[in-house]
Homo-oligomer: A and B are copies of this chain.
Amino acid sequence: MKYPNSSKVYVKPNTSAANRGMSLEEDINKTNRYYLTSDIAVIYKKPTPITIVNVDYPKRSAARITEAYFKVASTTDYNGIYLGKYIDFEAKECNSKTSFPFSSIHPHQIRHLTDVLRHGAIAFIILRMTYYNKDFLIRAQDFIDFYQSGNRRSLPYAWISENGFEIPMTYQKPCDYLETVNRVYEM
């Protein structure tokens, strides 16, 4: 189904019983809280970077930012520590049935993943393919190799399902990526 004046292909979302109710960010934040309270890992989402232009300081109430703009992130959104290791990842949701476009990930973030890998991090991308209702862990090195190999402008779903590792979900851990980290990195 195509809409007029739009090059976007409409993809009907999977509405199975296992359908996740929240955004990937909310699912990861909930999972991270579980990891923290269960003393499994200390991993946080970084705040959204903004440039503050103007702040009002009203008497007897909280400072109020009245003008600010979103900034391009220099790094990925999540980092922390797990079993003594530095963990770093970016999370992306993708509605396409066929592929994940490279335009959805900023070059700064790919450079950052390359940097932390070189210094010994466990680095990856969590990719939610909403059409298939599946979350994948993609090792940063695999992603970067494919990205740099040249002429593709997206990650085909066939590549994702072959090279990615499916992340399980439970009620308490709606995106239990450390289970996958244990398998993939033999922790």
Q: Which of B62, B67, B82 contacts A70 (CB 8 A)?
A: B62
Interface residues of A in 62-80 (CB under 8 A from B): 62-71, 74-75, 79-80
Indicate whether A47 sits within 8 Å of B46 (C-beta atoms), given known contacts A70-B65, A86-B84, A115-B36: yes
Q: Are B119 and A81 touching (Cβ within 8 A)?
A: yes
Indicate whether A115 sits within 8 Å of B42 (C-beta atoms), given known contacts A81-B121, A86-B85, A86-B86: yes
Indicate whether A65 sits within 8 Å of B50 (C-beta atoms), given known contacts A42-B112, A42-B116: yes
Number of chain copies forming the complex: 2
Q: Which of B41, B47, B74, B120 contacts A49 (CB 8 A)?
A: B47
How many residues of A are in contact with the other chain, CB < 8 A? Answer: 39
A48 at the interface (CB under 8 A from B): yes
A39 at the interface (CB under 8 A from B): yes
Q: Are B81 and A70 touching (Cβ within 8 A)?
A: no
A59 at the interface (CB under 8 A from B): no
A44 at the interface (CB under 8 A from B): yes
Sample (6) of A-B pairs whose CB atoms are under 8 Å apart: A42-B115, A47-B71, A65-B65, A65-B68, A84-B86, A84-B120
| A residues in contact (CB < 8 Å) with B | 36, 39, 41-42, 44, 46-50, 52, 62-71, 74-75, 79-86, 88, 112, 115-116, 118-121
